[in-house]
Structures are given as structure tokens and as C-alpha cells.
Amino acid sequence: MQVFSTSPWVPPEWIKAHGLEPRGIWFAGDFGGAPLPLAAGVCAFANAAVRFAERHVDSAVVFTTHCDQLRRGFDMIAGSYGGRLFLFNLPATWQSAAAERIFASELERLGRFLVKLRGHLPTAKELAAIITQYSLARKRLLEAACDLSARQYAEAIARFHWDGSVNLPSASEKTGSIPLALVGGPLPRAQWHVLDLIEGAGGGVVLNATEAGERSLWCVAGARGTWGSDAGLVPFKTESKGTHEELARLYLDNCIDVFQRPNTRLYAWLKERLTARQVRGLLLWHYVGCDLWRAEAQSLRETFGLPVLLLEANETASDLPRQAGRIEAFIESLTGPRT
């Protein structure tokens, strides 16, 4: 059975280890591509996730609490489709043992849900092997970050979140475009046209920091040392921590998102890459009703000293001319010499 996730912070390794097929919902061909009734203030992504769950009666869908709109969407349909829907509680804090316990308990609860879907309980060895497989795949994708066009890279990451595979095309020829970072919420397949608009206006997304973009690729656990150093990965320690508890620890160590409190890791992560890639402007990709990302606009300007353009994500491409015009004007403002 396919198990669709609405967030990259729900471990696909855990789903895979139970014998089911994890799928990142943002790569689904019928996700968010058709116009749907949308009430004022409702997030288009959450709305699309709800409608997707209603259509795909043979699949399971995992919602998360990191987004209020996703949580409300789950509440709206859980009574009718609860047998194949799951709400995963992602702790907003990350600096405490309590957060690790919450994440681990949620994995246990998700495991029981997956077993009810005819999955099986994994052994420590099975889980460790899958974690290593996914980590090596992320490592390959990270190494290709500067070699591919923005659309090629978005597709490669999305395919990884779809089935765990890595399919890298030949490196694309680089042009003299203005280096930009796309920061913000999820960028589903139906919205990749924004990458083409940016490129057509003379810009180039050298950092895809959307929710399921480069931010979701981690392969080293950092200070805890489970995976070793940047010089290379070491075998997973199955004799001590090939368990859901270690998986919870890995995700909390590497989760980088706006919903976290404090969200200092997000800014540290951005600072390193914005500097290294000489980014000259930020495009803040957000959904109507997403107060978390909208609230970061001024902070991003002040912290990095870069101009920020807010781009509202919509369900359809009906406003492409206006969106293209705003992107063109923004990039034109960056063509002068840097000060």
C-alpha cells in the first residue's frame, strides 16, 4: 500500500521498514493541479491534501501538526476516512529530551497504524539498512545541488521523496543569471512553473530552501556522531540504536523548518548557504493563510541584508502574468552592482 506524507519530517524510512511504500504527496501527478473551491484564508496546499485523501481511497495519508491548516484539514475528514488517515504530532521544540520522547512515541503510534494497514514490525537490522540507504541517497542529492538547473534539482529531490531513488540528469550548463534563493513552504510539482518564470526573467535559483527542497536532505547527524563526519558515512550502530528511538533522534537533530521554536537552526542553515552561493535576493514562497512564513519576511531582510520578494502560492496558474511581472521587476532591481 502507498502511504502519502504531507511533510518530509515524517520519516519515510519508518514507513518503508514496515513493508509499505512511502510517497511524498507533492510529487503526485494529480496533487494541486486542478482548481478547487477555496474558502477565504484556507491554505491551498492543505486544501489539496484533503481533496487528495478523499480521492485516493486505496491509499493512506499522513497529515502533520506542524501546520495548523493541515491539522484542521485532518480533523475535517478524519471521521469519514479515519481508518487510513493519520495525524503525526511533530514537536515544535527540539532542544529537550521531552521532544525526543514525543517524536519516538509518535513513531510507535504510527507503527501501530502501519501494522493495521498490513505492514509488519521491522527488526533493528532492517531499519538500520533502510536508514543507511536513504542517507546515502540524500548525500548524492546534496552533492548535485550546484550542478543541476532549478527544475532538474526540484524533480530529483521530489523523486527521492516519492520512492527513495536518485535519478540525476547530466549537469546543466550554467548561465550568467542572478543567484537567488527560493525559501518557504512546500513547492508541489504543479507549481514548478515558478522556477521557469524566475529563469526566464534572468534569475537562477541556486538554493531551493522550500519545505521539501534542499532543507529536507540530511545525511550526517552532526554533533552526536552517529553518521561520522562530512568526510564520509559510517555504518549505522545496529547493536545499540537501530530503533525508532534513534530514528526520532536523527530527525530532531536534522529537522530545519520555520515551525520550530527556536528556529535558529533555519537561519544558521540559510546563512551558510546564502553566503557560499553568493545569493543576491530571496523569494519567499508562502501560502495564503500561512502566518509562519509571512511573519519571517522582515526577519529575513534584517538578518541577511538581502531584498525579499513575497510570492503567494496559488492552486492554479491563472495569475501567471502578474506573478511573472513581479518576478521580472524584482530581478531587474538586482542587476545593478552590489553595495
CATH number at residue 153: 3.40.50.11900
Q: How many domains does the chain have?
A: 2
Asked if the model's pLDDT at residue 225 lies above 50, the reply is no
230-245 pLDDT per residue, tens: 434 434 444 445 589 9
Q: Is residue 76 part of a domain?
A: yes
What integer pLDDT is reported at residue 289 of this predicted model?
A: 75
Give the DSSP H/E element, type plus range, for residue 61. strand 60-64
**What's the pLDDT band for 39 if we cut at 50, 70, 90?**
low
Distance in angstroms (rounded) separating the CA atoms of residues 92 and 99: 8
CATH number at residue 47: 3.40.50.11890
**What's the pLDDT band for 37 if we cut at 50, 70, 90?**
low
Give, rounded to a whole angstrom, the gap between the first and last alpha carbons of the chain. Answer: 55
Asked if the model's pLDDT at residue 331 lies above 50, the reply is yes
Residue range(s) defining the domain that contains residue 175: 130-217+259-332
Single residue among 71, 92, 120 that ends a domain in this structure: 120
**What's the pLDDT band for 320 if we cut at 50, 70, 90?**
confident
What integer pLDDT is reported at residue 32 of this predicted model?
A: 77
Whether 52 and 153 map to the same domain: the answer is: no
Asked if the model's pLDDT at residue 35 lies above 70, the reply is no
What integer pLDDT is reported at residue 317 of this predicted model?
A: 54
| Pairing mode, strands 2-5 and 281-287 | unpaired
Whether 136 and 28 map to the same domain: the answer is: no
Asked if the model's pLDDT at residue 221 lies above 50, the reply is no
What integer pLDDT is reported at residue 126 of this predicted model?
A: 92
**What's the pLDDT band for 159 if we cut at 50, 70, 90?**
very high
Give this prediction's pTM: 0.90
Whether 152 and 29 map to the same domain: the answer is: no
Choose between 81 and 61: higher pLDDT: 61
What integer pLDDT is reported at residue 36 of this predicted model?
A: 53
Distance in angstroms (rounded) separating the CA atoms of residues 36 and 44: 9
Choose between 176 and 109: higher pLDDT: 109
Residue 274's alpha-carbon distances to 64, 176, 208, 270, in angstroms, are 29, 17, 11, 6
pLDDT > 90: percent of the chain: 75
Average pLDDT over residues 268-275: 97
The region, left, alpha or beta by phi > 0 then psi within -120 to 50, assigned to residue 19 is left
Q: Is residue 140 part of a domain?
A: yes
Residue 95's alpha-carbon distances to 7, 34, 252, in angstroms, are 21, 40, 9
What integer pLDDT is reported at residue 111 of this predicted model?
A: 97
Whether 207 and 319 map to the same domain: the answer is: yes
State the DSSP code for 54.
H
Q: Is residue 10 part of a domain?
A: yes
State the DSSP code for 171.
P
